[in-house]
Amino acid sequence: MQDLWRLSAADLASRINSRKISAKEAAAAALARLDAVNPGINAVVDHRPEDVLKQAAAVDAAIARREDVGPLAGVPVTVKVNIDQQGFATTNGLNLQRDAIATSNSPVIDNLKKSGAVILGRTNCPAFSYRWFTTNLIHGDTKNPRDPTLTPGGSSGGAGAAVAAGIGHIAHGTDIAGSIRYPAYACGVHGLRPTMGRIAAFNPGLPERTIGPQISAVSGPLARTIGDLRIALAAMSAKDFRDPWWVPAPLEGPVMPKHAALCLNPDGLETVGEVKASIADAGKRLERAGWSVEEIATTPPLREPAEHQTKLWLGDGYEAQLEAAEREGDGGALACLRGNRSKVFPFDAATFSNTLTRRATLTRQWLEFFEKYAVLLMPVSAELPFPDGLDRKDDASFARVWRAQLTQIAIPFMGLPGLTVSTGLVGRVPVGVQVVSGRYREDLCLAAGEAIEAGGTPPMPVDPVS
């Protein structure tokens, strides 16, 4: 029973529902794994064992009463420290928010609990969730369990590191510019950025977000199997009236021909050879699974939407964000804001209007593209996962990091779903592919992802490497 943490979420939930094991046994195994490996990677920064066991006992009691506890019955799940969980601080990696104790839950927490999940702990993120690296002044650095010299990704770096190391079976993350897709890529697991509006989002204890994050930031799952992403998406996407952007879209859309596009250098991205090889291999896996795959020279625009997304994310309220970062004193957050100042400031009414106007045009081009192709295979990043802290090395390195993340930054501007599928290792460095589809067609991303996954993935979970 001590290795229950190795099971998939689907397998674990099945065993708990059939009473072959108890939710309390699963919780105890998850807590033991956390105690064993978290000190070396600092993925989980807040957890309360007694509360975890209490949640599990409630699941067991409901099952004993023959109640339907949901598809995640007793499954230990981690949540990112930037969403409200009653009784916990929503720090978002900030000393400034160390006392922001939530008095109620975000929709994600409520929906996970309604599905039977046990919230195991809260995972680390960079200050303000700004970077593709995970460090801050309140919780410290998160290490990549596959290689501590590599970034664990960001901003959901704690989530990626936790699920890769077997701390929880599913991890919650958020994504406004790659913050689910990149940690999954860097830690060698899978991660789904859903369509904007698919999963209800709201932090009742914090101010409303500006319009950019409202229309592009999403919550979503990271997991070790595509099947677990599927059940996590179903659980997390239940209705919650508190998010006015939430859409009651079906999880399965109309049947489409299994026709995929594959692009190695989307919109001129300078993709390295190892990443190109991974994408080409993913295409071959799809073909073996009965898909037709068409290699294309380029895609609809990515550079322009990436520029607009950066403006909406960092430019709207730039001065207030910079002032807060200066008060926090976090070097990574300041580097992010100062390094992008010329791109996003000033952000006036004309810029705002033009940005939203172009959003309609660019989104329409992408939706037309997905009338022809069910999915697009392209890089998650132009490079293999970066050395940890690369963006703070010098100006050239900062520019290199942002240049490589083009596809991650652009896709949220159109509100599209994107899936990272981890496909293998280059030495001990993870590599994978990004699968994108039309709005509310996560089902197509996941179907392609399962075919790619069947061709092989890195070993997971892993014991952290020192």
* Res 299: pLDDT: 98
pLDDT digits over 103-123, tens only?
Answer: 999 999 999 999 999 999 999
Q: What is the DSSP letter of 137?
A: T
Q: Which residues are annotated as catalytic?
A: 80, 155, 179
Q: Where does the pLDDT of residue 466 fall: very low under 50, low under 70, confident under 90, or very high at 90 and above? A: confident
Closest listed residue to residue 92, CA positions, set 179, 15, 169:
179
pLDDT band at 1 (very low <50, low <70, confident <90, very high): low
Instruction: Answer for the pair 247, 198: CB distance below 8 angstroms, yes or no.
Output: yes
Calculate ∠ Cα 193-196-200, nearest 5°: 95
| Average pLDDT value for residue range 393-414 | 98
CB atoms under 10 Å from CB of 95, counted, come to 16
Q: Encode pLDDT of 298-311 as tens digits.
A: 999 999 999 999 99
**pLDDT exceeding 70 applies to what percent of the chain?**
100
Mean pLDDT for 255-280 is: 98
The mean pLDDT of 251-258, rounded to a whole number, is 98
* Mean pLDDT, rounded, for 334-352: 96
- The radius of gyration of the chain from alpha carbons, rounded to an integer in Å, stands at 20
d(CA 414, CA 308) in angstroms, rounded, equals 10
- Average pLDDT, integer, range 302-330: 97
| Coil, helix or strand at residue 231 | helix
Give the per-residue pLDDT at 273: 98
pLDDT per residue over 23-52, tens digit each?
A: 999 999 999 999 999 999 999 999 999 999
Residue 155, preceding bond cis, omega within 30 degrees? yes
Q: What mean pLDDT do residues 306-324 have?
A: 97
Domains of the chain: 4-453 (3.90.1300.10)
Mean pLDDT of the chain: 97
pLDDT given for residue 2 in this prediction? 64
Q: Return the ∠ at Cα 413 (arms to 338 and 256), rounded to 5°.
A: 150
Query: According to the model, what pLDDT value does residue 452 have?
Result: 98
The stretch 224-229 carries a mean pLDDT of: 98
Residues 225, 446, 7, CA angle at the centre, nearest 5°?
Answer: 15
Strand ordering across the sheet containing 190-193 = 44-46, 118-123, 76-80, 170-175, 218-223, 190-193, 418-426, 429-436, 375-378, 259-262, 292-295
Cβ atoms of 188 and 165 within 8 Å: the answer is: no
pLDDT, tens digit, for every residue of 198-219?
Answer: 999 999 999 999 999 999 999 9
The pLDDT tens digits of the residues spanning 120-130 come to 999 999 999 99
Instruction: Determine phi and psi for 214, rounding to 5 degrees.
Output: -60, -35
pTM of the full structure: 0.98
pLDDT for residue 74 is more than 70: yes
Give residue 4's Cα distance to chain centre: 24
